[in-house]
Amino acid sequence: MARLAFKALHLYTSPLSGCSARIRITALLKDIPLTYHEISISSSQQSSHSYLAINPNASVPSFVIELPENASSPASNITITQSPAIIDFLESHFPNPPLIPSPDMVRERARVMELASLVACDIQPPQNSRIRKKIAEEFDGNGEAWARYVYERGFGVYEKFLEETGNEKLGEVIGKGPMFSLGSKVTLADVFLVPAAQGASRVGVGLERWPLLKSVTEECLRLNAFRLGGVGQHKI
């Protein structure tokens, strides 16, 4: 596949954003140089006119592919504003190490996408800070209690999947070497899981009830990419 020629890759990010952490971790795993631009969520910088011109959704991450200038064809940068789409670009243009099993590994590929989608669709969106704030301010509810419920339900499902993962039950091989969501190699599932686990801790949800998920998370955090790119740990 022909690779897109680019001048630089820019990531607009916030340290406490789990969705941004997915991109930071992916870039570190693949040793991809990014130019970081911090967006302050606490000061509502994501709603500024200048940032809305980049991302009308007023969210992070935003990923800008700066294209080289060409005298015959002026550069028009490419902007991607959702973490799965950004990772798709990174995976296709920087294939090593692969985070998604090859298409011929049907079972493994499907499981990785299931787990990543569980986090991306069923855990992260229902409890994000924008939703929690709306619940508290406009519906007289407890946003953090709602977030805890979402995390607890989602992690319970993730744990069930982990019990079925790999050639053996994951629980039978924990302690015999590095073990991630789909065995001995980091995949996209882990890239999505760890920021969610870190976010859960911020609303008082520990991982003790889900021993396999806890073990996978701890194994990931032994790696620099997860430690340096994770939620609340990134410094620009």
Do residue 134 and residue 78 come from a single domain?
no
Local structure of 37: helix, strand or coil: strand
Residue 221 inside a domain? The answer is yes
Band the pLDDT of 235: cuts 50, 70, 90.
low
Tell me the average pLDDT across 106-132.
Answer: 91
User: How confident is the model at residue 176, as a pLDDT?
Assistant: 57
Residue 149 inside a domain? The answer is yes
Residue 3 inside a domain? The answer is no
Alpha carbon distance 92, 96 (integer Å): 9
| Least trusted range by pLDDT, from 13-22, 118-127, 175-184 | 175-184
Nearby residues of 205 by Cβ (< 8 Å), 6 or more positions away: 148, 151, 152, 155
Alpha carbon distance 226, 24 (integer Å): 9
pLDDT at 193 > cutoff 70: yes
User: How confident is the model at residue 1, as a pLDDT?
Assistant: 63
Residue 100 inside a domain? The answer is no
Do residue 86 and residue 137 come from a single domain?
no
Do residue 207 and residue 180 come from a single domain?
yes
Whether residue 65 contacts residue 9, with contact meaning beta carbons closer than 8 Å, is answered with yes
Residue 66 inside a domain? The answer is yes
Give the chain's length: 236
Do residue 30 and residue 57 come from a single domain?
yes
User: How confident is the model at residue 168, as a pLDDT?
Assistant: 47
Band the pLDDT of 71: cuts 50, 70, 90.
very low
What CATH number is associated with residue 31?
3.40.30.10
Expressed as residue numbers, the domain containing 77 is: 8-93
Structure letter (DSSP) for residue 127: H
Tell me the average pLDDT across 191-204.
Answer: 96
Residue ending a domain, among 70, 93, 116, is: 93
Number of domains into which the chain is organized? 2
List, for residues 53-67, the tens digit of each pLDDT value: 999 999 999 999 999
Do residue 129 and residue 207 come from a single domain?
yes
- By CB neighbour count within 10 A (0-12 exposed, 13-18 middle, 19+ buried), where does 174 fall? middle
Alpha carbon distance 162, 59 (integer Å): 31
What CATH number is associated with residue 183?
1.20.1050.10
Residue 27 inside a domain? The answer is yes
Do residue 85 and residue 145 come from a single domain?
no
The CA–CA distances, whole Å, from 83 to 87, 89, 120, 153 equal 6, 10, 9, 23
Do residue 55 and residue 154 come from a single domain?
no
Partnered with residue 13 across adjacent β-strands are 38
